[in-house]
């Protein structure tokens, strides 16, 4: 039997109470009321704070069975919540009074108790008296707990651990041999057996990976999906996360969106609004293209749509693959790979890898073997426990894990759910704040993809410990990384998207008191929502009673689905509580649209996080400008006619996510001096929209695009923005309109836009100056600059000496139409040219015809990849640079091959070569190139292989489309419309 549950949600109580007590002392002293009984109460509470904090901390990592203690803990939580609300009310009055009197931010903060009245002081004293009564019992409660030092939670942040795939090598090889049938034909390509194998004769092939939860189905699919050879061989890749709440319309839309996102990466939240999909659209996306589609976590409901889907998929090219992960074979007549549980010796290997990394600790191996025997054959559990063990590599800690009471405490429950003990032990050793953050994740719907920053914003907004100081990289990001490092949150194939394993979610709901609940359309009985602070509503129809109207203490409400709701605004007005202590409100995942948000939101004075993205609203109510505590505001995908003039009164706003057309409507945005994120600022000519609005936004960080720079009226305005003082900006884009900028004004403006020396990425678009200012290549100023892109700079005639930038790794030059020659001015005068450069791309440079080599005394030490596209006049490549390349991509630039010998003669160590769209000239492939190359990708070109079969030594992939081969000494041509040759030695091609 399970005696009580691990509590989650009380850790913050001690910290909030300590903050409240400090604030109470300040207020009472300032008003000369700190005397008599009030002074005694305050002294008693302050003396009890250490005991109180300790008791609350211990409560968060122990199973609680004592009802008296549980009641005491709930009272502490309740008082902490009331204390925070009271302090919020005080802060709201201070902000409103300072805005009314136009007091400066610093002065207003110093006037801490501005606007308080006698009724406020009475509330403070009453709450202090209740706290005194409860805190007096803290010492006795502490004695009852019988603390054990060995159970103290481990803390500390480790570097992020990259995902590792272990234990399924045989299944991986089998799956690869199904995807690439030629793998089974021969062990290696003999020089005389360079088969001209046609890519598959079958149409779409369906493969199912079948196994119970936690055996590694998704992990195996991710390894295959991300394999470099799969990326090379398929025109389209897509991954769709399925959930038990299956909707036909969403299903096809998600497949379309997944394919489109892989082709044209964009912010997925913005993309959903613009991407209008249907099942008919799918056919056109995949028409005559070879695709690789993963349907992850499929259930029986997939069968309903399979006939329609399979008909659409036949539009794809032969050899396309659908890979399905499922607990049971939901589709008949498919090739099946079954993943069973793993034997103890394999689990032990996985456990030790995650526990030790590359180290070995012989004295711990026996303990590791004991633990591996308790993991019930699931690699997920081995990874969880392994990550727990690596926190502290000593035998006492490992013995505490091995001998934990939780291995035996669940009885029969552990038989039906073998992951219970392992997950519980992992939770027991989590620090308190991490338990709370993990519990918060448990309320999201099945297969929900977490956005790292969005989740961190929610945690920050709900936190009872408020950030008063500027913290750009918040501790919440560290918490997220910590959960990721422990494998409690898993990465997905989508960049910056994560997911929680369903097995862990189930167990969290079973054994913890998270304060979180998901309201669904399922048939299970609905809980009393008054016991939950964080609620996710995942229903098709919101026009039903959910008992939320009077739940005024709810701190987070998130809405999902709602597609059957007819009058969304009216439904939400009926559901949302009033009044409310809500901190987080997210409407961005509602599928129905509304013109305006419910007015009741304007009364949520404690609100910190409000996401209205993609709701279809066209107006932002004036009342929302009174949400003085608001820190995060999302308005992506919304199109407004105007914005309230009082928007600049949201003085605590840190993160503002909206399209530039929305941001440009905000009058005087420069008054929001706490802003940390403003993705794009479009310069205007009217007062309140000029570039000078950026002057006081010195907390801006991360990504910033300054557009419409042609509207700057004079260079003095630019210098007043003090861009170099914005030390937290990491990625900067400077953008002019391509048709409106003059050369002289461009050069004057850019000369004044020198950013801070800490930026990592710099992009300049449609700059119409003939030259760049000297700061562009100032290696003494830019100490970590790693990425530069110049695009659309059509009258630029000379490149700056970028070769002297010490840390530059990636350089992209695109659309520089007047550049004719690249040489010494580009490299600079140092002996080590581009000392860190790895990738160099030239695109659409129609007048570029000469690329001079570096001097004999110079080297480019780390260059490994060059991409050249649509540079039709370029006639040769630098020989010394070619000699160190590992990857070369040439497209629509056939003049490069016009000389004899051509540039490929000097590519001595090339491993990957891609040549596209170079018809009209025969490209000779020399013997030494064919002997070293691993990946050869040819499209729409005419080639001649010198030595042909006899020269091929290392070739792993040979992919051609529309390629003509000329045999040496013969006039006959072989034409390959589509062919693929694979070596069985499938390996990750990392150079």
Q: Mean pLDDT across the stretch 633-642?
A: 93
Sign of CA pseudo-dihedral 280, 285, 289, 291:
negative
DSSP string, 142-163: HHHH---GGGPPP---PPPPPP
In a domain? residue 603:
no
Q: Strand 497-499 relative to strand 490-491: parallel, antiparallel, unpaired?
A: antiparallel
Residue 267: per-residue pLDDT = 40
Residue 115: per-residue pLDDT = 59
Residue 521: per-residue pLDDT = 77
Please state, for a pLDDT cut of 90, what percent of the chain lies above it: 32
- pLDDT of residue 6 exceeding 50, the answer is no
Residue pair 302/242 in contact by the 8 Å Cβ criterion: yes
Residue 947: per-residue pLDDT = 67
In a domain? residue 942:
yes
Outline where 357-451 has alpha helix (H). 365-372, 379-389, 395-402, 406-409, 413-416, 420-428, 432-441
Domain shared by 422 and 457, yes or no: no
pLDDT-based confidence at residue 273 (cuts at 50, 70, 90)? very low
The whole-angstrom separation of Cα 591 and Cα 445 is: 15
Residue pair 381/401 in contact by the 8 Å Cβ criterion: no
Write phi, then psi, for 280 (nearest 5 degrees): -70, -35
**Which two tokens mark 243?**
């959930």
Half-sphere exposure of residue 52, counting CA atoms within 13 Å on the CB side? 30
Domain shared by 333 and 371, yes or no: no
Question: Which run of H or of E encompasses 229?
Answer: helix 228-233
Q: Mean pLDDT across the stretch 218-230?
A: 90
Domain shared by 454 and 392, yes or no: no
- pLDDT of residue 978 exceeding 60, the answer is no
In a domain? residue 403:
yes
Residue 797: per-residue pLDDT = 95
The whole-angstrom separation of Cα 103 and Cα 99 is: 6
What does the mean pLDDT of the chain come to?
A: 81
Write phi, then psi, for 861 (nearest 5 degrees): -70, -30
Instruction: Flag the least confident range among 72-76, 147-151, 801-805, 971-975.
Output: 147-151
Residue 952: per-residue pLDDT = 63
Domain count, the chain: 5
**Which two tokens mark 622?**
């004036």
Model confidence pLDDT, tens digit, residues 379-391:
888 889 988 888 8
Neighbouring CB atoms inside 10 A of 722's CB total 14
From the list 153, 62, 56, 66, the residue with the least C-alpha distance to 424 is 62
Helices and strands counted in the chain (H then E)? 31, 35
Please state, for a pLDDT cut of 70, what percent of the chain lies above it: 80
In a domain? residue 66:
yes
Q: Indicate left, alpha or beta for 956 from its phi (over 0: left) and psi (-120 to 50: alpha).
A: alpha
More confident residue, 711 or 302: 711
The whole-angstrom separation of Cα 771 and Cα 746 is: 10
Residue 162: per-residue pLDDT = 60
Model confidence pLDDT, tens digit, residues 174-211:
998 888 876 444 333 333 223 333 333 357 889 999 98
Residue 772: per-residue pLDDT = 96
Q: Mean pLDDT across the stretch 415-419?
A: 78
Neighbouring CB atoms inside 10 A of 283's CB total 15
The whole-angstrom separation of Cα 896 and Cα 888 is: 13
Model confidence pLDDT, tens digit, residues 110-129:
455 555 677 777 878 788 78
In a domain? residue 694:
no
- pLDDT of residue 73 exceeding 90, the answer is no
Q: Among 494, 514, 534, give the residue marking a domain's end.
A: 514
Residue 787: per-residue pLDDT = 97
Q: Mean pLDDT across the stretch 693-697?
A: 94
The whole-angstrom separation of Cα 275 and Cα 257 is: 7
Which residues does 932 contact at the CB level (< 8 Å), separation at least 6?
Answer: 908, 909, 910, 911, 953, 954
Residue 877: per-residue pLDDT = 92
Identify which of 168-182, 462-476, 903-917 has the greatest average pLDDT: 903-917
More confident residue, 868 or 75: 868
Residue pair 915/923 in contact by the 8 Å Cβ criterion: yes
The whole-angstrom separation of Cα 297 and Cα 209 is: 10
Outline where 287-405 has alpha helix (H). 302-313, 344-356, 365-372, 379-389, 395-402
Domain shared by 323 and 443, yes or no: no
pLDDT-based confidence at residue 268 (cuts at 50, 70, 90)? very low
**Which two tokens mark 821?**
């020659």
Domain shared by 406 and 264, yes or no: no
The whole-angstrom separation of Cα 384 and Cα 429 is: 12
Model confidence pLDDT, tens digit, residues 749-771:
999 999 999 999 999 999 999 99
The whole-angstrom separation of Cα 674 and Cα 894 is: 53
Write phi, then psi, for 141 (nearest 5 degrees): -60, -40
pLDDT-based confidence at residue 948 (cuts at 50, 70, 90)? low
Residue 972: per-residue pLDDT = 52
User: Nearest 5 degrees, angle CA 654-CA 659-CA 664?
Assistant: 80
The whole-angstrom separation of Cα 319 and Cα 539 is: 39
pLDDT-based confidence at residue 610 (cuts at 50, 70, 90)? very high
- pLDDT of residue 898 exceeding 50, the answer is yes
Q: Mean pLDDT across the stretch 549-554?
A: 82
Domain shared by 424 and 443, yes or no: no
Residue 445: which CATH number?
Answer: 1.10.10
Residue 316 DSSP one-character state:
S
Model confidence pLDDT, tens digit, residues 809-857:
999 999 999 999 999 999 988 889 999 999 999 999 999 999 999 998 8
pLDDT-based confidence at residue 961 (cuts at 50, 70, 90)? confident
Residue pair 219/350 in contact by the 8 Å Cβ criterion: no
The whole-angstrom separation of Cα 656 and Cα 664 is: 12
Q: Mean pLDDT across the stretch 526-548?
A: 81
Domain shared by 482 and 400, yes or no: no
- Secondary structure (3-state) at 134: helix
Residue that the structure tokens 């170099």 belong to = 724
Q: Among 429, 456, 474, give the residue marking a domain's end.
A: 429
- pLDDT of residue 677 exceeding 70, the answer is yes
Q: Among 309, 338, 367, give the residue marking a domain's end.
A: 338
The whole-angstrom separation of Cα 388 and Cα 407 is: 15
- pLDDT of residue 867 exceeding 70, the answer is yes
The whole-angstrom separation of Cα 250 and Cα 324 is: 18
Q: Which residues pair with residue 557 across a beta bridge?
A: 535, 585
Write phi, then psi, for 451 (nearest 5 degrees): -95, 125
| Domain encompassing residue 953 | 888-990
CB-count exposure of residue 54 (10 Å: 0-12, 13-18, 19+): middle
- pLDDT of residue 549 exceeding 90, the answer is no
- pLDDT of residue 669 exceeding 70, the answer is yes
Write phi, then psi, for 97 (nearest 5 degrees): -70, -40
Residue 627: per-residue pLDDT = 93
Domain shared by 127 and 226, yes or no: no
Write phi, then psi, for 876 (nearest 5 degrees): -165, 165
In a domain? residue 236:
yes
CB under 8 A, 24+ apart: contacts of 358-363: 359/393, 361/393, 363/395
The whole-angstrom separation of Cα 689 and Cα 985 is: 60
Residue 286: which CATH number?
Answer: 3.40.50.300
Q: Mean pLDDT across the stretch 502-507?
A: 82
Domain shared by 210 and 321, yes or no: yes
Half-sphere exposure of residue 635, counting CA atoms within 13 Å on the CB side? 27
Residue 102: per-residue pLDDT = 61
DSSP string, 40-109: HHHHHHHHHHHHHHHHHHHHTTSB---HHHHHHHHHHHHHHHHHHHHHHHHHHHHHHHHHHTT--HHHHH
Domain shared by 414 and 437, yes or no: no
More confident residue, 135 or 503: 503
The whole-angstrom separation of Cα 775 and Cα 781 is: 8
Residue pair 84/76 in contact by the 8 Å Cβ criterion: no
3-state helix, strand, coil in the chain (%, to 5): 40, 15, 45
User: Nearest 5 degrees, angle CA 89-CA 95-CA 98?
Assistant: 140
Model confidence pLDDT, tens digit, residues 323-367:
999 988 777 778 888 888 888 888 888 888 888 765 555 667 788
In a domain? residue 502:
yes
Exposure b/e, 212-222, CB count within 10 A at least 16 = b: ebbbbbbbbbb
Separation of CA 583 from chain center: 23
In a domain? residue 400:
yes
- pLDDT of residue 623 exceeding 90, the answer is yes
Residue pair 504/488 in contact by the 8 Å Cβ criterion: yes
Neighbouring CB atoms inside 10 A of 625's CB total 18
The whole-angstrom separation of Cα 917 and Cα 961 is: 10
The whole-angstrom separation of Cα 825 and Cα 975 is: 44
Domain shared by 140 and 15, yes or no: yes
Residue 813: per-residue pLDDT = 97
- Secondary structure (3-state) at 869: strand
The whole-angstrom separation of Cα 297 and Cα 270 is: 25
- Answering whether pTM is above 0.75, one says yes
More confident residue, 38 or 108: 38
Sign of CA pseudo-dihedral 617, 623, 625, 628:
negative
Domain shared by 318 and 386, yes or no: no
More confident residue, 106 or 899: 899
More confident residue, 969 or 544: 544
Residue 791: per-residue pLDDT = 96
Exposure b/e, 6-31, CB count within 10 A at least 16 = b: bbbbbbbbbbbbbbbbebbbebbeee
Residue pair 83/20 in contact by the 8 Å Cβ criterion: yes
The whole-angstrom separation of Cα 803 and Cα 821 is: 15
């Amino acid at each position: 039997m399970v005696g009580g549950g691990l509590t989650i949600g009380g850790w913050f109580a001690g910290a909030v109470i300590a903050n409240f007590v400090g604030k109470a002392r300040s207020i009472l002293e300032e008003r000369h009321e700190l005397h008599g009984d009030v002074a005694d109460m305050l002294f008693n509470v302050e003396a009890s704070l250490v005991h109180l904090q300790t008791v609350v901390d211990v409560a968060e990592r122990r199973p609680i069975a004592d009802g008296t203690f549980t009641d005491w803990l709930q009272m502490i939580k309740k008082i902490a919540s009331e204390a925070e609300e009271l302090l919020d009310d005080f802060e709201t009055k201070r902000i409103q009074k300072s805005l009314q009197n136009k007091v400066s931010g610093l002065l207003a903060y110093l006037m801490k108790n501005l606007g308080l009245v006698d009724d406020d002081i009475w509330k403070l004293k009453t709450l202090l008296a209740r706290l005194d009564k409860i805190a007096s019992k803290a010492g006795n409660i502490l004695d009852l707990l019988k603390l054990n030092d060995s159970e103290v939670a481990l803390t500390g942040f480790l570097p992020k651990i990259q995902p590792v795939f272990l234990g399924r090598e045989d299944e991986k090889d089998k799956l690869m041999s199904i995807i690439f049938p030629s793998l089974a034909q021969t062990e290696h390509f003999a020089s005389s057996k360079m088969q001209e194998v046609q890519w598959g004769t079958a149409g779409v092939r369906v493969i199912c990976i079948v196994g119970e939860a936690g055996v590694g189905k998704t992990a195996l699919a991710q390894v295959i999906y991300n394999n470099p050879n799969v990326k090379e061989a398929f025109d389209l890749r897509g991954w769709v996360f399925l959930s038990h709440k299956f909707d036909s319309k969403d299903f096809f839309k998600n497949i379309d969106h997944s394919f489109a996102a892989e082709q044209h990466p964009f912010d997925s939240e913005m993309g959903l609004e613009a991407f209008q999909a249907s099942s008919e659209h799918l056919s056109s996306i995949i028409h005559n293209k070879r695709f690789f589609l993963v349907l992850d976590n499929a259930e029986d409901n997939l069968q309903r749509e399979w006939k329609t889907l399979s008909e659409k998929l036949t539009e794809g090219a032969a050899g396309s693959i659908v890979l399905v992960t499922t607990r049971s074979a939901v589709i008949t007549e498919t090739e099946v790979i079954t993943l069973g549980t793993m034997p103890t010796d394999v689990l032990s290997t996985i456990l030790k890898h995650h526990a030790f990394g590359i180290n070995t600790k012989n004295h711990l191996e026996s303990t590791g073997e004991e633990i591996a025997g308790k993991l019930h054959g699931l690699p997920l559990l081995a990874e969880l426990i392994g990550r727990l063990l690596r926190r502290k590599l000593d035998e006492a800690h490992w013995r505490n894990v091995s001998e934990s009471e939780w291995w035996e405490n669940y009885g029969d429950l552990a038989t039906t759910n073998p992951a219970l003990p392992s997950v519980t032990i992992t939770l027991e050793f989590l620090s308190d704040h991490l338990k709370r953050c993990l519990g918060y994740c448990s309320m999201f719907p099945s297969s929900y993809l977490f956005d790292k920053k969005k989740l961190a914003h929610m945690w920050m907004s709900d936190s009872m410990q408020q950030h008063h100081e500027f913290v750009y990289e918040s501790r919440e990001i560290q918490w997220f990384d910590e959960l990721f490092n422990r494998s409690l949150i898993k990465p997905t194939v989508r960049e910056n998207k994560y997911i929680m394993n369903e097995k862990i979610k189930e167990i969290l709901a079973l054994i913890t008191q998270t304060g979180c609940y998901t309201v669904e359309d399922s048939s299970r009985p609905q809980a009393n929502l008054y016991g939950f602070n964080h609620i996710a509503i995942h229903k098709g129809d919101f026009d039903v009673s959910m008992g939320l109207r009077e739940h005024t203490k709810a701190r987070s409400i998130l809405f999902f689905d709602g597609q059957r709701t007819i009058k969304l605004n009216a439904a939400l007005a009926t559901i949302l509580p009033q009044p409310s202590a809500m901190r987080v409100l997210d409407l961005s995942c509602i599928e129905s649209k509304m013109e305006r948000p419910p007015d009741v939101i304007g009364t949520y004075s404690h609100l910190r996080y409000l996401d209205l993205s993609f709701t279809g609203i066209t107006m932002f109510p004036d009342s929302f400008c009174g949400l003085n505590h608001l820190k995060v505001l999302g308005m992506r995908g919304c199109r407004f006619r105007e914005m309230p003039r009082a928007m600049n009164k949201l003085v605590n706003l840190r993160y503002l996510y909206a399209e530039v057309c929305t941001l440009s409507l905000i009058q005087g945005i420069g008054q929001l001096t706490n802003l940390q994120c403003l993705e794009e600022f479009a310069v205007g000519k009217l007062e309140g929209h000029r570039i000078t609005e950026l002057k006081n936004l010195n907390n801006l960080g991360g990504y910033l695009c300054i557009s419409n720079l042609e509207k700057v009226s004079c260079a003095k305005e630019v210098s007043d923005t003090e861009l170099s003082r914005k030390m937290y900006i990491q990625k900067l884009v400077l953008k002019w309109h391509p048709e409106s900028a003059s050369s002289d004004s461009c050069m004057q403006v850019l000369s004044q836009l020198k950013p801070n020396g800490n930026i990592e990425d710099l992009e300049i678009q449609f700059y119409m100056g003939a030259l760049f200012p000297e700061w562009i290549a100032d290696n003494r100023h830019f100490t970590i600059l790693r990425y530069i892109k110049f695009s659309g700079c059509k009258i630029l005639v000379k490149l700056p000496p970028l070769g002297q930038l010490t840390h530059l790794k990636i350089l992209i030059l695109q659309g520089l139409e007047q550049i004719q020659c690249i040489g010494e001015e580009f490299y600079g005068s140092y002996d080590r040219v581009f000392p860190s450069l790895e990738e160099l791309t030239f695109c659409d440079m129609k007048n570029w015809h000469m690329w001079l080599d570096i001097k004999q005394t110079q080297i480019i030490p780390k260059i490994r990849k060059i991409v050249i596209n649509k540079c039709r006049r370029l006639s040769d490549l630098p020989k010394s640079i070619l000699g160190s390349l590992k990857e070369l991509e040439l497209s629509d630039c056939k003049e490069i091959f016009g000389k004899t010998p051509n540039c490929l003669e000097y590519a001595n160590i090339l491993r990957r070569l891609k040549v596209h769209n170079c018809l009209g000239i025969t490209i000779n492939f020399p013997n030494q190139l064919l002997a070293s190359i691993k990946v050869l990708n040819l499209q729409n070109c005419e080639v001649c292989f010198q030595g042909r079969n006899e020269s091929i030594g290392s070739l792993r992939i040979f992919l051609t489309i529309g390629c003509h081969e000329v045999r040496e000494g013969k006039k006959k041509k072989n034409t390959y419309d589509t062919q693929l040759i694979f070596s069985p030695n499938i390996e990750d091609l990392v150079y």
